[in-house]
């Protein structure tokens, strides 16, 4: 975790939230699900209203994460499969992304949040891609929370791209196949240099990982909540972290091994 993350303010905020300040996840990954169902439940004619209100939930969770001094928050904003949704919904999501980037920049700056993106961002519409890169650049000096948007992201695609790069090193004679390690794959993932998520949160009651961070979630704790994403709030985040803090993380070892000092 970054150096500032242990400051007294963060400790106080964690205590106020009813959390153990010394057992915080370093990286929370989120599948923001349920926008369409939320819009339908509320009687809106279109699913798009759910995505719009979903941006407000994202702002709440980002701000709450920053206040707790979390290091990394990575959210699934648009999957490679989402390109197959009706064009009207895809276009609306791209517009929502553009508007959100514009509007949220001052909030990110105020909260010392660094924006980052993973995925095939070159396949976003040019204007959205440019705006994204400009906000990433504008916040690059912030050293609090890193908020990563997974955009046009698919984990299997990410791994295929990494494998191609490793294969190229082998083909060029720079790497012996026998000496390939996890690190060789890791350094070619979009998430290279980031710690792996230790907690995955998925809203809306669905219990699957939908091609999200398959490699990186190897040892993550999973937390599922029936709350639909537009209704998810700081209290929901605290509950997810409290649940994480009750888990015994064994990383393949036995419970007894962990208690032996
Ligand atoms: C899943 O809900 C959500 C998405 C596919 C998009 C997530 C986007 C946001 C929360 C808005 C913020 C977005 C950006 C780009 C910054 P769903 O539509 O699959 O809901 P359903 O399962 O109820 O149909």
Look at residue 146 and tell me if it is in a domain.
yes
Task: Decide if 166 is inside a domain.
Answer: no
137 in a domain, yes or no?
yes
pLDDT digits 0-9 by tens, 203-213: 999 999 999 99
Please report which helix (H) or strand (E) contains residue 135, including its range: helix 126-138
90-124 pLDDT, tens digit per residue, is 999 999 999 999 999 999 999 999 999 999 999 99
Domain ranges, residue 145: 25-154+197-246
Helices within the chain (DSSP H only): 8-16, 35-41, 48-68, 87-110, 126-138, 155-171, 182-186, 234-246, 255-259
Give Rg (Cα) of the chain: 19
Written as six digits, the tokens of 145 are: 């929370």
Q: Is 92 helix (H, G, I), strand (E, B) or coil?
A: helix
Domain membership flag for residue 2: no
CATH of residue 118: 3.40.1180.10
Which residues carry out catalysis?
33, 82
Distance 191 CA to ligand 1 centre (A): 21
Report pLDDT for 251.
Answer: 76
- Band the pLDDT of 259: cuts 50, 70, 90: confident
pLDDT, greater one: 260 or 160: 160
Half-sphere exposure for 213 (CA within 13 Å, toward CB): 32
> What is the CA(120)–ligand 1 centre distance, in A?
18
**What pLDDT was estimated at residue 1?**
43
pLDDT at residue 6, as a whole number = 65
Residue 204 lies in a domain: yes
148 alpha-carbon distance from chain centroid: 6
Candidate of 229, 231, 233 to mutate for ligand 1, largest count of ligand atoms within 8 Å of Cβ: 229
Residue in the structure block whose two tokens are 């290279």: 192
In a domain, 190, yes or no: no
Q: Is 84 inside a domain boundary?
A: yes
Residue 232: CB atoms within 10 A of its CB come to: 24
Say if CB 32 and CB 203 are below 8 A apart: yes
4 vs 27, residue with greater confidence: 27
Q: Can you tell me the distance from the alpha carbon of 248 to that of 242, in angstroms, rounded to the nearest whole number?
A: 12
Whether residue 207 lies inside any domain: the answer is: yes
The answer to whether residue 160 scores a pLDDT higher than 80 is yes
**Spatial separation of the C-alpha atoms in residues 12 and 15, rounded to whole Å:** 5
Binding-site residues, ligand 1, Cβ < 6 A: 32-37, 47, 51, 54-55, 58, 77-78, 82, 93, 96-97, 100, 149, 204, 229
pLDDT at 248: 78
Task: Report the domain count for the chain.
Answer: 1
């Amino acid at each position: 975790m970054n150096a500032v993350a242990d400051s007294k303010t963060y400790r106080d905020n964690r205590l106020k939230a009813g959390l153990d300040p010394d057992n915080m996840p370093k990286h929370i990954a989120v599948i923001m699900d349920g926008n369409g169902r939320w819009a339908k439940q509320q009687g809106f004619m279109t699913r798009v209203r759910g995505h719009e209100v979903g941006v407000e939930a994202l702002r709440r969770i980002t701000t709450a994460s920053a206040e707790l001094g979390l290091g990394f928050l990575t959210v699934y904003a648009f999957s490679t499969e989402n390109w197959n949704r009706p064009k009207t919904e895809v276009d609306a999501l791209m517009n929502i992304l553009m508007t959100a980037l514009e509007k949220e920049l001052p909030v990110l700056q105020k909260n010392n949040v660094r924006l980052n993106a993973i995925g095939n961002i070159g396949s976003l519409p040019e204007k959205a891609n440019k705006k994204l890169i400009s906000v990433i650049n504008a916040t690059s000096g912030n050293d609090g929370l890193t908020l990563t948007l997974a955009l046009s992201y698919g984990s299997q695609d990410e791994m295929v791209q990494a494998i191609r790069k490793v294969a190229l090193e082998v083909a060029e004679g720079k790497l012996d196949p026998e000496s390939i390690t996890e690190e060789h794959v890791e350094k070619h993932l979009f998430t290279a240099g980031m710690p792996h998520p230790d907690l995955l949160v998925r809203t809306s009651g669905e219990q699957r990982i939908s091609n999200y961070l398959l490699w990186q979630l190897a040892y993550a704790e999973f937390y599922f909540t029936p709350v639909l994403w537009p209704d998810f709030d700081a209290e929901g985040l605290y509950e997810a972290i409290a649940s994480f803090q009750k888990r015994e993380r064994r990383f393949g070892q036995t419970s007894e091994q962990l208690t032996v000092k």
